[in-house]
Amino acid sequence: MKFNLFIMKYIAILFLSATWLFSCTNKQSSNSTDNNSENNDWKLVWSDEFDNEGLPDTTKWNYDTRGNEYGWGNNEKQWYPIADPENAYIRDGILTITAIKEPTFGKDYSSARLTTKGKGDWKYCKVEVRAKVPLGRGTWPAIWMLPTENTYGGWPKSGEIDIMEHVGFNPDTVFSTVHTGAFNHTIGTQVGKKIGLPTATTEFHIYTTEWNENEIRSYVDGEHYFTFTNNGEGFEAWPFDRPFHLILNLAIGGGLGGKKGIDDSKFPHEFQIDYVRVYQK
């Protein structure tokens, strides 16, 4: 009898423990559903999955070459050609932007800079890009946004949103930054934040920025690490109330990328992009 009583008590304890665990699991599931409901407010409005092999889709992308002769204002060392498959090509669902060490119109390197200007311009959105950056001192890949019209004046007055930047001399870190008339690197007031990412050059990661009328938030693989808030002090501080377009590029050298020189032994370099998705509410 004592043995049977012990078995009954043991079964009761197991039942109560299972009930408690089920309750906790349901609560966690409910919370997860609530969070997903918030995320589901975003609706996909533009994307490129890079499913078609060949050059980038010209209904979605432009080749930006305007600053080739002047170093793009950053003393960069590359030349950006137009529609050269050696520098920008889609294969197996991946867009690869390749930087090559080769004499090109007086520059020592060639690469590619793609924009959606006039083909993808958004005011307030969520941008999500899955990408892998190259490894090598002197590289400077970026996923970023500029205003489609310089409503408040030339750079930086009309704003810049850097979704993700990476520099080869600091391979295990990425960062997100904004630039405005009041907050920019030329006067030492830029606002941004970096996050450690040891596998940035070996694995694909999802880089995301959410932008609304109140703030800009940046994430890596869903981890929120940077917020820039509208302080209500006008366009000098917050010019982000106009349409912006997206830019993908791989620069070589420059004021930031070339800060510790360029390792020529590592070329060519590949900046790989799996997809680009833009959402709005």
Quote the Cα angle for 250-69-108, to 5°.
55
146 plus 199 within the same structural domain = yes
Residue 73 has what DSSP assignment? Answer: G
- Note if 160 is an active site residue: yes
Name the active-site residue from 76, 128, 165, 210: 165
Averaged over 41-49, what is the pLDDT? 97
122 plus 247 within the same structural domain = yes
Q: Is 197 helix (H, G, I), strand (E, B) or coil?
A: coil
- pLDDT score of 105: 95
The residue to which tokens 């007031």 are assigned: 189
User: Which string of b and e fits 240-249 if b means at least 16 CB within 10 Å?
Assistant: bebbbbbbbb
pTM for the model stands at 0.86
14 plus 129 within the same structural domain = no
71 plus 101 within the same structural domain = yes
Distance CA(187)–CA(222), nearest Å, equals 32
6 plus 94 within the same structural domain = no
pLDDT surpasses 90 at 27: no
34 plus 55 within the same structural domain = no
Instruction: Give the C-alpha distances (Å, rounded to integers) separating 136 from 99, 103, 263.
Output: 11, 19, 7
The H helix count followed by the E strand count for the chain is 2, 18
Least confident of 21-30, 81-90, 222-231, 265-274: 21-30
Tens digits of residue pLDDT in 182-210: 999 999 999 999 999 999 999 999 999 99
Could you tell me how far CA 94 lies from the centroid of its own chain?
Answer: 16
Quote the Cα angle for 228-230-231, to 5°.
115
33 plus 50 within the same structural domain = no
Name the active-site residue from 69, 160, 210, 223: 160
- Note if 165 is an active site residue: yes
Domain range for 89 is 45-280
